[in-house]
Structure 1
Amino acid sequence: METAEKLFHTRGYDSVGVAELGEAIGIAAPSLYAAFGSKLGLFERAVAAYEARYGRILAEFLERNAPVGDLMPAYLEEAARFYTRPGQPCGCMVLSGTWNSADAEAIAVTARRLQAGRDRIRDRIARERPDDAERLADYTLVVMAGLSAMARQGIGQDRLIAAVRAAAAVYA
């Protein structure tokens, strides 16, 4: 699963073929279909595995007893660090795994995950600032997408964190 996850994360859903996936994980295409049903089935499992491993970062931040003005900038800084981890694919698999994809079902897989994360962010913000929750949840997702995209373009951690710090005033 980790091998498939890294391929999808690094190259995106559309750029990874079934034959390549099978070869990378050491099974023939018919066995891949038998095990996962389809390339989409494997992608769904890879996204779920990625979220199971890394989604806890968001959950841990949202559980903190801190003001939104401190919490959300700290979370975005952590995202910038995560998206630029040495030796790992850059950016966020959920945010970028289906960018430029022509596959509506694959897009729906990541869209559901993004919406669920956004709703969790909105709900946390709403506990403190209900009138700002929708706007700030959208803003947070937009900033995260930008951080992910720039990390994939090779922008370093220091620059991403500086950008987050410049954007943090929105949460004040």
Structure 2
Amino acid sequence: MTTKNMEPGARGRPRAFDLDQAVERAMLLFHSRGYDAVGVAELGTELGIKPPSLYAAFGSKAGLFERALRRYAEGEANLFARARAGGGTVAEVLQRTLLEAARSYPERGGVAGCLVLDGARNSADPQARALALAAKAAARAAMRDVIAAEAPERAEDLADFMATAMAGMSAEARDGAGPERLLRFAELAGAAVRRELGDLSSAR
């Protein structure tokens, strides 16, 4: 459905593009190529709008990136949310998260890794880096809070472990690692998490 929002200074003339579709297309571009490699002119061409319309809708390229990060984190790419939906103990949820990452991160159709973890990696734009860091921090905090409900004394360390493991898998996937290799790593990492939480439980 085409949005009915108006362009500034263009009274009564509706914007001729779909905002949701535009964010979806931009998300795929940022994910496949990284923030810095995608220019405003290319975004305009891909979205079917001119740069003034892009700025009117999103404020800036970084504003569009922020919308893309939000859409990514609220959708199927939120692996931790998907893993939690399966129920089980904290250890089971964390192991499931790692396995989902191993299956999801390998390259498909030119897209590999995680947009949140790698979309602004080494970006020269401080605003883009800050947006990505905020999204990473929110994902880590979500894991920490769930872990803390069962193992508060291990929550910070295990959240760090999970964030580091997933960042490593994302980077490896972007470098060409396939699902078999990532699944082996995820199984080892998941076993380490289960041992850590198991040791904690047995000590109580």
TM over 0.5: yes
Amino acid across the alignment from 2:150: E
TM-score normalised per structure 2: 0.79
1:137 to 137, 150, 159: 159
Q: Once the two structures are aligned, what percentage of the paired residues are identical?
A: 47
1:168 deviates by 2.2
Higher relative contact order (CA 8 A, sep 6+): 1
Structure with the largest fraction of helix: 1
Kindly name which structure, 1 or 2, has the bigger radius of gyration based on alpha carbons: 2
Q: Which residue of 2 aligns with 1:149?
A: 171
Check the 8 A contact 2:98/2:189 in 1, yes or no. Answer: no
TM-score normalised per structure 1: 0.92
1:76 to 98, 102, 106: 98
Asked if residue 9 in structure 1 is aligned to residue 39 in structure 2, the reply is no
1:86 deviates by 3.2
Q: Name whichever of 85-94 and 36-45 sits farther off.
A: 85-94
Count of residue pairs brought into register by the alignment: 172
Check the 8 A contact 2:72/2:78 in 1, yes or no. Answer: no
| Structure 2 residues not aligned, in runs of 5+ | 1-22, 196-204
Query: How does 1:98-117 map onto structure 2 within 5 Å?
Result: 98-117=120-139
Q: After TM superposition, where is structure 1 displaced by more than 4 Å over at least 4 residues in a row?
A: none
Asked if residue 87 in structure 1 is aligned to residue 109 in structure 2, the reply is yes
* Cα distance in 2 between the residues matched to 1:64 and 1:129: 19
Q: Say which SS state the counterpart of residue 100 (structure 1) adopts.
A: coil
Q: Say which SS state the counterpart of residue 54 (structure 1) adopts.
A: coil
